[in-house]
């Protein structure tokens, strides 16, 4: 989960998928609900968000509609096209969509359980900020899947914008009581400068939250297309398969040097506490 949009959730998930695959773990990405106009059509005709397809490539897994069960494609006039399990489902305004979230959550849970039968680990990505308190009862991207599926949570925060202590502490305090214990670690992303200079900050975060900081990730210059609407398009971020593979490997290598991979792998395999 993230403290807000554009904190780097997609990048972290992509890197973890490649790291786990490199360790011989069969892994798949999963994002219950994704809002994006940037999608791709798979060989079987299913349509999913482009970032989940890229994460599947990083995981060396075949992309599937199960990996992004609900895709919302903005259609103008406050309406979105709802793609369910890769197929067109409806065109809805927000109020109409919210009437369907119970059904869509069940479909997302079914997709998750189907993926569980195919791989050892599922790396789940949330959407936007996790602590949108007014949306908790309809949040099929973050809170409801965590509650229903009891998924261990790693919270990603963006230090580049400032306010990382408020981001992390505030998000954790605002999580529902039954979700807060699921948070097993924090990753501070987009750090500039000497990471050692944040050692005191790391200790303060851990003392404030009682949750370990599992890594301080520097600002990484990658050539992946941006998924977030807050981020500008990179017109050069269209890569060949070979170039994409090289980027996945470069990302994985960078993350392995700064993350507590052993702990993350233990959490992913159900051995974390």
Query: For 120-136, what is each residue's pLDDT tens digit?
Result: 999 999 999 999 999 99
Task: Please tell me the distance from the alpha carbon of residue 164 to that of residue 206, in angstroms, as a whole number.
Answer: 13
Mean pLDDT of 57-77: 96
Interaxial angle between packed helices 9-22 and 50-58, expressed in degrees from 0 to 180 and rounded to the nearest 10: 30
pLDDT of residue 77: 86
Q: Closest Cα to residue 11, out of 272, 254, 175, 265?
A: 254
Domains and CATH numbers, the chain: 9-268 (3.40.50.300)
Query: Which residue would you say has higher pLDDT here, 228 or 53?
Result: 53
Mean pLDDT of 219-227: 74
pLDDT of residue 76: 87
pLDDT of residue 221: 84
pLDDT digits (tens, 9 = 90+) for 136-174: 999 999 999 999 999 999 999 999 989 999 999 999 999
Q: How far is CA 158 from CA 168, 214, 226, in A?
A: 9, 14, 16
| pTM (global) more than 0.75 | yes
Residue ranges of the alpha helices (H) in 117-197?
Answer: 143-149, 164-174
């Amino acid at each position: 989960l993230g403290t807000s949009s554009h904190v780097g959730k997609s990048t972290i998930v992509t890197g973890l998928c490649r790291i786990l695959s490199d360790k011989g773990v069969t892994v798949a990405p999963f994002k219950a609900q994704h809002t994006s106009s940037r999608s791709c059509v798979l060989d079987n005709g299913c349509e999913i968000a482009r970032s989940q397809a890229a994460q599947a490539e990083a995981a060396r897994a075949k992309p599937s509609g199960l990996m992004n069960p609900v895709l919302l494609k903005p259609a103008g006039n406050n309406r979105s096209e709802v793609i369910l399990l890769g197929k067109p489902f409806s065109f809805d305004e927000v109020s109409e969509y919210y009437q369907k979230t119970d059904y869509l959550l069940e479909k997302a849970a079914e997709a998750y359980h189907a993926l569980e039968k195919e791989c050892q680990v599922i790396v789940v990505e949330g959407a936007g900020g996790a602590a949108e308190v007014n949306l908790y009862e309809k949040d099929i991207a973050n809170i409801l899947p965590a509650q229903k599926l009891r998924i261990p949570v790693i919270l990603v925060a963006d230090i580049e914008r400032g306010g990382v202590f408020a981001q992390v502490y505030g998000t954790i305090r605002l999580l529902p009581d039954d979700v807060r214990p699921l948070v097993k670690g924090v990753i501070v992303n987009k750090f500039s400068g000497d990471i050692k200079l944040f050692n005191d900050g790391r200790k303060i975060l851990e003392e404030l939250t009682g949750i370990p900081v599992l890594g301080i990730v520097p600002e990484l210059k990658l050539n992946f297309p941006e998924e977030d609407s807050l981020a500008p398009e990179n017109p050069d971020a269209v890569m060949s398969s070979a170039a994409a593979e090289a980027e996945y490997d470069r990302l994985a290598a960078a993350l392995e040097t700064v993350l507590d991979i052993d702990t993350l792998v233990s959490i992913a395999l159900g051995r974390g506490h």
